[in-house]
Amino acid sequence: MKRSIALLVTCVFVTGIAVPAQANGTKTNARFTNTEPLETVTRSRSDAAEAAAQVPGSALVLLEALRWRGRTAKQLGLPTQLWCADFMNFVFKKAGAKGTASRAARSFLQFGKKLDGPRVGAIAIMYRKGPNNGHVGVVRGTDGQGNPIVVSGNHGPTVTQSMYPKHKVLAYVMPPDYVLEDMANAARAAALAKQ
């Protein structure tokens, strides 16, 4: 009985401390009233999928790319140098569709519909010095400044999620509808096979 009373008193005390200042009638500092980020940044794989669901088929691209985070080119069976486009084609193949079949990152500039800005699940093609150089990956979100957070291969030795400066982005593209349909059909077939 004494233990139950002690637990009850502790709970009441903790609840009293945890009550927000507004509920106690005290004023809060106005500079802390709006602390929401300018843009939503997805924090987990399921958040990313929910955001990607706004663009049909894009969730499949993003989730497949996220599945391979931390893996090296060698672990994925890809060439070990300049393999970002190889990784994107690998993602499409694993999702049941065809990519560009090119090792060039800039080949994705002609792959699908160009977008006016970053979208979760879109492909970001970025500039690197040189006339044909580039980098490519899947957009997971943006930071508060509009810089894309991209999941890509060949960022260091592994598949990594990183923020890239928005001024480096050449284009954002959404894969063609037929590619998204192929991926959706492959996902449905895999789900039926599990049943």
pLDDT in tens, 106-118: 999 999 889 999 9
Whether residue 149 is predicted with pLDDT greater than 90 in this model: the reply is yes
- Between vectors from CA 182 to CA 122 and to CA 134, what angle results, nearest 5°? 35
The answer to whether 126 touches 84, Cβ cutoff 8 Å, is no
Q: Selecting from 1.10.8, 3.90.1720, 3.40.50, 1.25.40, what CATH number does the domain 45-194 have?
A: 3.90.1720
101 falls in which pLDDT band (50, 70, 90)?
Answer: very high
Alpha helices (H) in 68-104, listed in sequence order: 73-76, 84-94
Q: What is residue 49's predicted lDDT score, i.e. its pLDDT?
A: 47
- CB-CB contact of 35 with 66 (8 Å): no
Residue 51, pLDDT > 90, answer: no
